[in-house]
Amino acid sequence: MKMLKKNDLILVGIILLLCIGFFAYRKMTEAPGSRVEVMMNGKLYDTLTLQEDTVYTVKGDNGSYNTFKITDGVVDMIDASCPDKLCVNQAGIHHNHETIVCLPNKVILEVVGAEEGEVDIIAN
């Protein structure tokens, strides 16, 4: 078996550089989110502010549901009808771009940042 080749190291180097660049960009644009967007079947279902603590349930067509709570700006899934409950086991989200995904129910919670909210206000 041949040992490592130069091309292997070039490949790893390129991938690591790409990722470092991406993480740096993320870190620079990271901010506490201002709203959570609730998506179902790829469409926007509702938008909630993170400023108010609340418990909210998303209901699907065939009796499926996902319940999440907002506490101190953190969104956390607390109950769901899906068989795997993987969405409930996920940690709470707080920063912009963070998501909680429930695949069986096709529900996504996505935190959106303050700067996007400000653009909306200007547009309105």
Partner 1 sequence: MEKKKINRITTYGLLVALAFILSYIENLIPIPVPIPGIKLGMANLVVITALYSLGIKEALSLSILRIILVSFTYGSPSTMLFSLAGGLLSWGIMALFKNGKLFSFVGVSILGGIFHNVGQILTAVFVVENINIVYYLPFLLISGVFTGALIGILGAMILKRLKHLYQ
Applying CB under 8 A, the residues found at the interface with partner 1 are 1-5, 7-8, 11-12, 15-16, 18-19, 22-23, 26, 39, 41-42, 83-84, 86-87, 90, 93, 97-104, 106, 108, 110
Q: Supply 39's token pair.
A: 């998506």
Spatial distance between the Cα atoms of 70 and 61, rounded to a whole number of angstroms? 24
Q: Rounded to the nearest whole angstrom, what is the least distance from the CB of residue 106 to Zn ion in the complex?
A: 10
Which residue's CB is nearer to partner 1, number 5 or number 72? 5
Contacts for 31 with CB less than 8 Å, ≥ 6 apart: 95, 96, 113, 114, 115
82 binds Zn ion per the rule CB under 5 A: yes
Of 80, 100, 108, 111, the one binding Zn ion by CB under 5 A: 80
Token look-up 């067509």 returns 61
Nearest to 35 by CA among 107, 117, 101, 99: 117
Residues 85-124 that bind Zn ion (CB under 5 A): 87, 102
Phi and psi, residue 67, nearest 5°: -115, 130
Q: Supply 71's token pair.
A: 């506490």
Q: Which does 23 bind (CB under 5 to 8 A by kind): Zn ion, partner 1, none?
A: partner 1
Token look-up 């993480």 returns 23
Q: Which does 50 bind (CB under 5 to 8 A by kind): Zn ion, partner 1, none?
A: none
Residues within the interface to Zn ion (CB under 5 A): 80, 82, 87, 102
